[in-house]
Structure 1
Amino acid sequence: MIWNTMMGTSILSIPWGIKQAGFTSGIILILLMGILTLYCCYRVVKSRQIIPLIDTSNWEFPDVCKYYFGSFGQWSSLLFSMISLVGAMVVYWVLMSNFLFNTGKFIYNYVHDINVTDIVPGTNGSNKVICPSAASGHLPWNRSVVFSADNITGFTLFEKWWNKSQTVPFYLIAVLLPMLNLKSPSFFAKFNVLGTVSVVYLVLLVTVKAAHLGIHLEFHWFTENEFFVPEFRILFPQLTGVLTLAFFIHNCVITLLQNNRNQENNVRDLSIAYFLVGLTYLYVGVIIFASFPSPPLSKECIEQNFLDNFPSDDIMSFVARIFLLFQMMTVYPLLGYLARVQLLRQFFGNAYPSLFHVLALNLAIVGAGVAMARFYPNIGGIIRYSGATCGLAFVFVYPSLIYMISLHRAGQLTWPALIAHIFIILLGLANLIAQFLL
């Protein structure tokens, strides 16, 4: 359950994050961030047990924050929890727009027998890999463009009304906004298995593509190269920002572990889940980066959503987008429900005070998703900003402060423990600041 819940959209940006950090430093950062976030999550799980003389069996982590920090802890934990939820919903909207666009494009081209060749620079052959960054002018490219279609006018009209950023994000409103207004999204919870199926299929896709493309690696430790990035890059905080959200489950881990029949196995199960998540991220990130065909392309071509490096007419990528589209369309109302419960219950004492309140909240959330899909459809950027922001509170600051305060009250706080946990807090702060500097 924890693995399935933690594995989300961040997996699509891990190869891009490794590119930003460098291959060697990327692998090291995934391992270190996995260990660090696991420790902080362990501190969250144990936070209720160190409160004396009070029954905390029904408490969530915001309740623990309220106990230690009063109303500030209560409201700040709500704020950062909302940032994580709304940030995830914004990423979902951008990705759903992307997947819906590519799915519609695949179907239209297939039905109308439209052949578009070399519009996006890429490799040749049946397992084509493309470089959208070069086509958009962000990277140099000198290849000619050849376009052939039976009906140029029809295709041009389709391109006008089926645009990834200008039209498709608005089409999703008609489907998803009514779902968000349902009083209980329990129906969509039944499709949770789609998340596991999607991740397993992505691993299969990565494996098959790598088997056909082969390994393309050269090690340049600190210098730039036409086709390869250095092993260590100053942009590495962009990966740590993505990983903060990729390993983020701290605001709901207590709830998830409450379902364990044997509560004494919570730490073991949590460790196993983090190990599996880290292994999945490492496998997908390393394989995609290593097999990316450079030359003729550059590793800089790796997109924030690695599926964008495969053309819309690629069958395996088409199936992956269909899986992920339906999975996200079922998870999105659940995230909206969690946001509604946390926010409206806090302000009005009721998760559904009226249709007007719920509709106003949902319009604001949907509007944020549409705006980002329209003007800033960069999932890597959204993930790292929201991850570093909510992670500062839930991953680095609150678990460490609560542990230090509990030790101090018990007279057991030592200098090594104090220094270690202050260092964790400073790491979280540096992680957030670095997102806005790089």
Structure 2
Amino acid sequence: MIWNTMMGTSILSIPWGIKQAGFTTGMCVIMLMGILTLYCCYRVVKSRSMISSVDTSTWEYPDVCRYYFGSFGQWSSLLFSLVSLIGAMIVYWVLMSNFLFNTGRFIFNFIHHINDTDAVLSTNDSNPVICPSAGSGDHPNNGSMIFYANDTGLEQFEKWWNKSKTVPFYLIGLLLPLLNFKSPSFFSKFNILGTVSVLYLIFLVTFKAIHLGFHLEFHWFMQTEYFVPEIRFQFPQLTGVLTLAFFIHNCIITLLKNNKNQENNVRDLSIAYMLVTLTYLYIGVLVFASFPSPPLTKDCIEQNFLDNFPSSDILSFIARIFLLFQMMTVYPLLGYLARVQLLGHVFGDVYPSIFHVLALNLIIVGAGVIMACFYPNIGGIIRYSGAACGLAFVFIYPSLIYMISLRQEDRLTWPKLIFHIFIIILGLANLIVQFFM
């Protein structure tokens, strides 16, 4: 359950993050971030048991924050929780636009017998891999199809089916009405799609790696024509992505409180984090190692690694279909959580009126459309929102609450104080450095 909940859209950006950090550095960063976020999540799980003066059996983590920090803790935890939710919804909108665009392009190309690998730099073999940004993984191709014919039908399709100018708006008519439902119970029935999607991605990258083989050449500090160095100073971009990739701290108490055997919570949490870490390592390492360089370069790895496969690739088309339907069912759930947290705290009612709900949903949808049109870089969105929400829920609050509770019991020692202050400093540095990378 925890593994299924934690695995999200960040998995698509892990190979890009490894490319930014360097192969060896990337693997080390994934393991270290997994251990660090696991420890901070453990501190969240144990935070209620540190309070002995009141009954905390029904408390959530914002209640714990309110106990220690008053109204500031309550409202600041709400703010950072909304940052994580809305950030995830923006990433979902960008990805859904991407998947819908490529799905439409696959159907159109299939009907008209168009080979879209001719328009971009590719391996040009029976199992092609493409470089949409022609060597710059940081600036993905946000335009539409490139055609060499002056056919009117092709021109009209290119005009009305554009990844950044039209497709993001088409989603409004489908998803905005779903956000206004009073209950998300219908969409919660499709949670199994998340597990199926991740399992299919594992199959996809395994199949591609078998066919492409490994392309690795180790250069520790020097960039070569086809390979990035093993150690790159852009590794904080990966830590920002991983902060959100391992982020479950704001709902872990809710997920674990229904366990029949509460004494197994720590064990289950540790197993879940180990599985998530192994999944990220497996997909990230296989995609990076099997990316064909030469003839392409490792810098071609996109922020969404599915963009490195042409829309005509059938296996990638199936993956996009799975992910599109999964995200279309999860998106209303995220919107419901955002509504419950914001409107519930402000108005005391999660559905004060259709006008309040519609206004909130228009703001959220508008943010997604704007980002899909002008900044469709999911790696950037994930690392900024991940570092921001992680600063509070992953690094600061768990460490501060633990130190305060120890101080109240006269059990705070210098090693524990220094260690948890160091964690807070890491969180601050993780956020600040994102704006300089």
Write the mapping of 1:257-406 to structure 2, written as runs, cut at 5 A. 257-406=256-405
Q: TM-score, normalised by structure 2?
A: 0.97
Q: 1:146 to 1:54 in 2, by over 3 A?
A: closer
Q: TM-score, normalised by structure 1?
A: 0.97
1:175 aligns to 2:150 (yes or no): no
Contact 1:117 1:146 in 2 (8 A): no
1:46 aligns to 2:41 (yes or no): no
Residue aligned with 1:358, SS: helix
1:214 aligns to 2:221 (yes or no): no
In 2, Cα distance between equivalents of 1:88 and 1:119: 32
In 2, Cα distance between equivalents of 1:378 and 1:137: 10
Shift of 1:138: 7.8
Q: What stretches of structure 2 of length at least 5 have no aligned partner? A: 140-144
Q: Which amino acid is 1:88 matched to?
A: A
Alignment-derived partner of residue 3 in structure 2:
3
Q: 1:20 to 1:137 in 2, by over 3 A?
A: closer
Shift of 1:136: 8.1
Q: Which amino acid is 2:202 matched to?
A: V
Shift of 1:148: 5.9
Contact 2:103 2:321 in 1 (8 A): yes
Q: 1:342 to 1:301 in 2, by over 3 A?
A: same
Q: Which amino acid is 1:291 matched to?
A: S
In 1, Cα distance between equivalents of 2:135 and 2:376: 16
In 1, Cα distance between equivalents of 2:147 and 2:373: 26
Shift of 1:112: 2.5
Shift of 1:146: 9.7
In 2, Cα distance between equivalents of 1:385 and 1:338: 21
CA RMSD of aligned residues (A): 1.5
Q: Which amino acid is 1:365 matched to?
A: I
In 2, Cα distance between equivalents of 1:136 and 1:27: 22
Contact 1:195 1:327 in 2 (8 A): yes
For each residue in 1:34-60, what CA deviation from the matched residue of structure 2 results, as whole angstroms up to 9, or x when unmatched? Answer: 000000000000000000120000100
Residue aligned with 1:437, SS: coil
Q: 1:320 to 1:259 in 2, by over 3 A?
A: same
Q: Percent identity?
A: 78
Contact 1:97 1:172 in 2 (8 A): yes
In 1, Cα distance between equivalents of 2:189 and 2:65: 32
Alignment-derived partner of residue 33 in structure 2:
33
In 2, Cα distance between equivalents of 1:436 and 1:406: 34
Alignment-derived partner of residue 108 in structure 2:
108
Write the mapping of 1:181-192 to structure 2, written as runs, cut at 5 A. 181-192=180-191
In 2, Cα distance between equivalents of 1:88 and 1:120: 30
Shift of 1:111: 1.7
In 2, Cα distance between equivalents of 1:408 and 1:174: 54
Alignment-derived partner of residue 142 in structure 2:
none
Write the mapping of 1:42-121 to structure 2, written as runs, cut at 5 A. 42-121=42-121
Shift of 1:108: 1.0
Q: Which amino acid is 1:86 matched to?
A: I
Q: Which amino acid is 2:347 matched to?
A: F
Alignment-derived partner of residue 163 in structure 2:
164
Contact 2:117 2:130 in 1 (8 A): no
Q: Which amino acid is 2:54 matched to?
A: I
Contact 1:120 1:135 in 2 (8 A): no
For each residue in 1:98-137, what CA deviation from the matched residue of structure 2 results, as whole angstroms up to 9, or x when unmatched? Answer: 0000000001111223344420101021210000111889
Alignment-derived partner of residue 142 in structure 1:
none
In 1, Cα distance between equivalents of 2:378 and 2:260: 37
For each residue in 1:293-350, what CA deviation from the matched residue of structure 2 results, as whole angstroms up to 9, or x when unmatched? Answer: 0000000000000000000000000000000000000000000000000000000000
Q: What stretches of structure 1 of length at least 5 have no aligned partner? A: 140-144
Contact 2:302 2:308 in 1 (8 A): yes
In 1, Cα distance between equivalents of 2:147 and 2:170: 28
Alignment-derived partner of residue 204 in structure 2:
205
Residue aligned with 2:129, SS: coil
Alignment-derived partner of residue 423 in structure 2:
424
Q: 1:343 to 1:333 in 2, by over 3 A?
A: same
The 4+ residue runs of structure 1 with deviation greater than 2 A are 112-117, 135-139, 145-149
